[in-house]
Amino acid sequence: MKILICVKQVPEITDVKINPETGTLIREGVDSILNPFCEYAVECGLDLRRHYSDIEIVAISMGPPQARAALMRCLEMGADRAILLADRKFAGSDTWATAFTLAEAIRAMEDDFDIILVGKQAIDGDTAQVGPELAEILGIPQIMYAVGVELTGNKKKIRVKREIETGNEIVEVKLPGLVSLSKGPMIRSVSSFKEILDARKKELRVITASDLNIDENVFGLKGSFTQVVKIFPPRVKKKGEVIDGSEAGGAAEKLVGFLRERNFI
Protein backbone atom coordinates (compact mmCIF):
# COMPACT_ATOMS: atom_id res chain seq x y z
CA MET A 1 0.00 0.00 0.00
CA LYS A 2 1.30 3.47 -0.91
CA ILE A 3 0.49 6.81 0.71
CA LEU A 4 1.51 10.03 -1.03
CA ILE A 5 1.85 13.13 1.12
CA CYS A 6 1.91 16.50 -0.67
CA VAL A 7 3.79 19.09 1.37
CA LYS A 8 4.88 22.71 1.07
CA GLN A 9 7.73 24.82 2.40
CA VAL A 10 6.57 28.10 3.98
CA PRO A 11 8.25 31.11 5.66
CA GLU A 12 8.76 30.77 9.42
CA ILE A 13 7.39 34.13 10.42
CA THR A 14 4.66 35.60 12.60
CA ASP A 15 5.03 39.27 11.61
CA VAL A 16 4.54 39.40 7.84
CA LYS A 17 6.44 42.21 6.11
CA ILE A 18 5.39 43.61 2.74
CA ASN A 19 7.47 45.44 0.14
CA PRO A 20 5.49 48.71 -0.24
CA GLU A 21 6.61 49.20 -3.86
CA THR A 22 5.99 45.71 -5.25
CA GLY A 23 3.25 44.60 -2.84
CA THR A 24 4.98 41.23 -2.37
CA LEU A 25 6.12 39.36 0.73
CA ILE A 26 9.67 40.08 1.90
CA ARG A 27 11.28 36.62 2.15
CA GLU A 28 14.94 37.66 2.37
CA GLY A 29 16.43 36.77 5.74
CA VAL A 30 13.38 34.70 6.68
CA ASP A 31 13.87 31.02 7.50
CA SER A 32 11.58 28.43 5.92
CA ILE A 33 9.89 25.44 7.51
CA LEU A 34 7.64 22.56 6.58
CA ASN A 35 4.05 23.82 6.65
CA PRO A 36 2.61 22.77 10.05
CA PHE A 37 -0.57 21.30 8.56
CA CYS A 38 1.61 19.25 6.21
CA GLU A 39 3.37 17.89 9.29
CA TYR A 40 -0.01 16.72 10.58
CA ALA A 41 -0.53 14.94 7.24
CA VAL A 42 2.84 13.20 7.63
CA GLU A 43 1.96 12.24 11.21
CA CYS A 44 -1.33 10.80 9.97
CA GLY A 45 0.51 8.65 7.41
CA LEU A 46 2.95 7.45 10.05
CA ASP A 47 0.09 6.58 12.38
CA LEU A 48 -1.53 4.45 9.67
CA ARG A 49 1.79 2.68 9.12
CA ARG A 50 2.03 1.85 12.82
CA HIS A 51 -1.12 -0.23 12.30
CA TYR A 52 -0.17 -1.62 8.88
CA SER A 53 3.55 -2.21 8.40
CA ASP A 54 3.28 -2.77 4.61
CA ILE A 55 2.57 0.93 3.94
CA GLU A 56 5.10 2.95 1.92
CA ILE A 57 5.09 6.71 2.51
CA VAL A 58 6.24 9.04 -0.27
CA ALA A 59 6.51 12.81 0.32
CA ILE A 60 6.19 15.09 -2.71
CA SER A 61 6.55 18.85 -3.05
CA MET A 62 6.82 21.51 -5.74
CA GLY A 63 9.11 24.45 -5.14
CA PRO A 64 12.60 25.91 -5.55
CA PRO A 65 15.71 23.83 -4.75
CA GLN A 66 15.68 25.00 -1.14
CA ALA A 67 12.37 23.16 -0.67
CA ARG A 68 14.56 20.06 -0.21
CA ALA A 69 14.71 21.10 3.45
CA ALA A 70 10.96 20.57 3.86
CA LEU A 71 11.22 17.14 2.27
CA MET A 72 14.19 16.27 4.49
CA ARG A 73 11.98 17.03 7.47
CA CYS A 74 9.46 14.49 6.10
CA LEU A 75 12.20 11.90 5.72
CA GLU A 76 13.43 12.59 9.25
CA MET A 77 9.90 12.07 10.56
CA GLY A 78 9.74 8.67 8.87
CA ALA A 79 8.75 9.01 5.20
CA ASP A 80 10.42 6.34 3.05
CA ARG A 81 11.41 8.57 0.12
CA ALA A 82 10.70 11.98 -1.37
CA ILE A 83 10.16 13.73 -4.70
CA LEU A 84 10.85 17.41 -5.42
CA LEU A 85 9.38 19.13 -8.49
CA ALA A 86 11.90 21.91 -9.05
CA ASP A 87 12.22 23.92 -12.25
CA ARG A 88 12.22 27.64 -13.02
CA LYS A 89 9.42 26.91 -15.51
CA PHE A 90 7.16 26.06 -12.56
CA ALA A 91 7.61 29.58 -11.12
CA GLY A 92 4.49 31.72 -10.88
CA SER A 93 2.11 28.77 -10.60
CA ASP A 94 -1.22 29.55 -8.99
CA THR A 95 -3.14 26.89 -7.06
CA TRP A 96 -4.56 25.29 -10.21
CA ALA A 97 -1.21 25.13 -12.04
CA THR A 98 0.40 23.73 -8.87
CA ALA A 99 -2.27 21.03 -8.54
CA PHE A 100 -2.02 20.20 -12.26
CA THR A 101 1.77 19.82 -12.11
CA LEU A 102 1.56 17.64 -9.01
CA ALA A 103 -1.11 15.50 -10.68
CA GLU A 104 1.05 15.00 -13.79
CA ALA A 105 4.03 14.00 -11.64
CA ILE A 106 1.90 11.56 -9.66
CA ARG A 107 0.54 10.00 -12.84
CA ALA A 108 4.03 9.66 -14.27
CA MET A 109 5.91 8.53 -11.18
CA GLU A 110 3.48 7.22 -8.54
CA ASP A 111 0.33 6.12 -10.36
CA ASP A 112 -0.17 3.11 -8.06
CA PHE A 113 -0.99 5.19 -4.95
CA ASP A 114 -3.83 4.31 -2.56
CA ILE A 115 -4.15 7.48 -0.47
CA ILE A 116 -3.06 11.10 -0.89
CA LEU A 117 -2.72 13.14 2.30
CA VAL A 118 -2.37 16.93 2.35
CA GLY A 119 -2.47 19.65 4.98
CA LYS A 120 -5.78 21.51 5.00
CA GLN A 121 -3.99 24.73 3.98
CA ALA A 122 -0.59 26.41 3.89
CA ILE A 123 0.01 29.11 6.50
CA ASP A 124 1.50 31.54 3.94
CA GLY A 125 -1.43 31.61 1.49
CA ASP A 126 -4.33 30.00 3.40
CA THR A 127 -6.17 29.23 0.15
CA ALA A 128 -6.88 25.53 0.95
CA GLN A 129 -7.34 24.95 -2.80
CA VAL A 130 -4.49 22.74 -4.01
CA GLY A 131 -5.73 19.60 -2.27
CA PRO A 132 -9.30 19.69 -3.63
CA GLU A 133 -8.07 20.68 -7.11
CA LEU A 134 -5.58 17.81 -7.10
CA ALA A 135 -8.37 15.34 -6.26
CA GLU A 136 -10.57 16.75 -9.04
CA ILE A 137 -7.80 16.51 -11.63
CA LEU A 138 -7.00 12.92 -10.63
CA GLY A 139 -10.69 12.03 -10.50
CA ILE A 140 -10.65 10.62 -6.96
CA PRO A 141 -12.93 11.29 -3.95
CA GLN A 142 -11.84 13.88 -1.41
CA ILE A 143 -12.53 14.44 2.29
CA MET A 144 -11.49 17.76 3.81
CA TYR A 145 -10.61 18.86 7.36
CA ALA A 146 -9.90 15.42 8.82
CA VAL A 147 -8.99 14.99 12.47
CA GLY A 148 -8.93 11.18 12.43
CA VAL A 149 -8.23 8.59 9.72
CA GLU A 150 -8.47 4.80 9.70
CA LEU A 151 -8.54 2.02 7.11
CA THR A 152 -11.54 -0.28 6.85
CA GLY A 153 -12.90 -2.98 4.55
CA ASN A 154 -9.64 -4.92 4.36
CA LYS A 155 -7.80 -1.69 3.45
CA LYS A 156 -10.15 -1.02 0.52
CA LYS A 157 -11.84 1.96 2.20
CA ILE A 158 -10.85 4.85 4.41
CA ARG A 159 -12.99 6.16 7.27
CA VAL A 160 -12.44 9.78 8.24
CA LYS A 161 -13.57 11.88 11.17
CA ARG A 162 -13.82 15.42 9.86
CA GLU A 163 -14.55 18.84 11.31
CA ILE A 164 -17.76 20.63 10.33
CA GLU A 165 -19.29 23.85 11.64
CA THR A 166 -21.57 22.05 14.09
CA GLY A 167 -19.08 19.46 15.33
CA ASN A 168 -17.68 16.33 13.67
CA GLU A 169 -18.94 13.78 11.17
CA ILE A 170 -17.75 10.36 10.00
CA VAL A 171 -17.28 9.85 6.24
CA GLU A 172 -16.17 6.68 4.45
CA VAL A 173 -14.99 6.36 0.82
CA LYS A 174 -13.46 3.71 -1.39
CA LEU A 175 -9.78 4.02 -2.22
CA PRO A 176 -7.95 5.66 -3.86
CA GLY A 177 -8.89 8.95 -2.24
CA LEU A 178 -7.50 12.25 -0.95
CA VAL A 179 -7.75 13.53 2.62
CA SER A 180 -6.75 16.95 3.99
CA LEU A 181 -5.68 17.14 7.62
CA SER A 182 -6.53 19.62 10.35
CA LYS A 183 -4.66 19.48 13.64
CA GLY A 184 -7.03 17.34 15.67
CA PRO A 185 -5.32 15.26 18.39
CA MET A 186 -2.06 14.85 16.43
CA ILE A 187 1.19 16.19 17.86
CA ARG A 188 4.10 17.22 15.64
CA SER A 189 6.91 14.84 16.56
CA VAL A 190 10.56 15.58 17.27
CA SER A 191 13.00 13.42 15.30
CA SER A 192 15.83 11.61 17.08
CA PHE A 193 19.46 12.10 16.07
CA LYS A 194 19.46 8.63 14.50
CA GLU A 195 16.33 9.44 12.45
CA ILE A 196 17.99 12.64 11.21
CA LEU A 197 21.08 10.73 10.13
CA ASP A 198 19.05 7.92 8.53
CA ALA A 199 17.08 10.48 6.50
CA ARG A 200 20.28 11.42 4.63
CA LYS A 201 20.45 7.89 3.25
CA LYS A 202 16.92 7.90 1.83
CA GLU A 203 16.03 8.71 -1.79
CA LEU A 204 15.15 12.31 -2.63
CA ARG A 205 14.49 12.53 -6.36
CA VAL A 206 14.33 15.85 -8.24
CA ILE A 207 11.89 16.07 -11.18
CA THR A 208 12.08 18.87 -13.77
CA ALA A 209 9.57 20.09 -16.34
CA SER A 210 11.26 18.08 -19.12
CA ASP A 211 10.78 14.88 -17.09
CA LEU A 212 7.02 15.32 -17.19
CA ASN A 213 6.84 15.68 -20.99
CA ILE A 214 3.83 18.04 -21.00
CA ASP A 215 3.02 21.30 -22.77
CA GLU A 216 4.78 24.23 -21.07
CA ASN A 217 1.69 26.38 -21.54
CA VAL A 218 -0.26 24.40 -18.94
CA PHE A 219 1.97 24.96 -15.91
CA GLY A 220 3.85 27.83 -14.29
CA LEU A 221 2.73 31.39 -14.93
CA LYS A 222 1.43 30.52 -18.42
CA GLY A 223 -0.86 27.83 -17.05
CA SER A 224 -2.19 29.92 -14.16
CA PHE A 225 -5.75 31.23 -14.28
CA THR A 226 -5.17 33.70 -11.45
CA GLN A 227 -2.42 36.13 -10.52
CA VAL A 228 -1.76 37.96 -7.27
CA VAL A 229 -1.84 41.68 -8.10
CA LYS A 230 -1.04 43.02 -4.64
CA ILE A 231 -0.48 41.83 -1.08
CA PHE A 232 -0.99 44.13 1.90
CA PRO A 233 -1.20 43.61 5.66
CA PRO A 234 -4.42 44.39 7.56
CA ARG A 235 -4.67 47.76 9.26
CA VAL A 236 -3.19 47.63 12.74
CA LYS A 237 -5.82 48.23 15.40
CA LYS A 238 -5.09 50.32 18.48
CA LYS A 239 -4.24 48.33 21.55
CA GLY A 240 -6.70 48.28 24.42
CA GLU A 241 -6.04 49.22 28.02
CA VAL A 242 -6.07 46.63 30.80
CA ILE A 243 -7.34 47.69 34.22
CA ASP A 244 -6.09 45.70 37.18
CA GLY A 245 -9.13 44.47 39.08
CA SER A 246 -7.33 43.21 42.18
CA GLU A 247 -8.53 46.31 44.06
CA ALA A 248 -12.19 46.89 43.23
CA GLY A 249 -12.38 50.54 44.31
CA GLY A 250 -9.31 51.62 42.36
CA ALA A 251 -10.35 49.63 39.31
CA ALA A 252 -13.82 51.22 39.30
CA GLU A 253 -12.29 54.71 39.59
CA LYS A 254 -9.96 54.05 36.65
CA LEU A 255 -12.82 52.68 34.55
CA VAL A 256 -15.02 55.69 35.23
CA GLY A 257 -12.14 58.04 34.40
CA PHE A 258 -11.51 56.14 31.15
CA LEU A 259 -15.16 56.47 30.12
CA ARG A 260 -15.34 60.17 31.01
CA GLU A 261 -12.21 60.99 28.98
CA ARG A 262 -13.93 59.55 25.91
CA ASN A 263 -17.28 61.19 26.65
CA PHE A 264 -19.09 57.88 27.17
CA ILE A 265 -20.50 59.18 30.47
Strand, coil or helix: 8? coil
Same domain, 243 and 118: no
Of the chain, the percentage scoring pLDDT greater than 90 comes to 65
The reported pLDDT for the residue numbered 136 is 97
pLDDT in tens, 201-236: 999 999 999 999 888 888 898 899 988 777 776 777
More confident residue, 245 or 89: 89
Count of helices and strands (H, E) across the chain: 7, 11
Higher local confidence (pLDDT), 139 or 92: 139
Instruction: Based on the fold, state whether residues 200 and 251 are members of the same structural domain.
Output: no
> What does the pLDDT look like over 162-203, one tens digit per residue?
999 999 999 999 999 999 999 888 887 889 999 999 999 999
Domain assignment of residue 242, given as a range: 235-265
This prediction's pTM: 0.83
Kindly state the average pLDDT of the residues 102-117: 95
| Residues 206, 103 within the same domain | yes
Whether 230 is covered by a domain: the verdict is no
Least confident of 22-31, 101-110, 165-174, 241-250: 22-31
Q: Is the dihedral of CA 101, 105, 106, 111 positive or negative?
A: positive
- Mean pLDDT across 110-128: 92
Q: What is the mean pLDDT of the chain?
A: 90
Rg (CA), the chain: 23
- What's 123's domain CATH number? 3.40.50.620
pLDDT value of position 211: 93
Q: Are 200 and 240 in the same domain? A: no
Q: Does the structure show a pLDDT above 70 at 16?
A: no
Q: Using the predicted structure, report yes or no on whether residue 239 has a pLDDT greater than 90.
A: no
Q: Which pLDDT score, from 0 to 100, does residue 23 have?
A: 58
Domain assignment present for residue 190? The answer is: yes
Specify the pairing of strand 204-207 against strand 157-164.
unpaired
Shared domain for 213 and 239, answered yes or no, is: no
Higher-pLDDT residue of 84 and 265 is: 84
pLDDT at 213: 85
Find out whether 174 and 211 touch, Cβ atoms under 8 Å.
no
* Residue 191 counted as domain residue: yes
* Residue 185 and residue 242 in one domain: no
| b/e sequence 154-179, b meaning 16+ C-beta within 10 Å | eeeebebbbbeeeeeeebebebbbbb
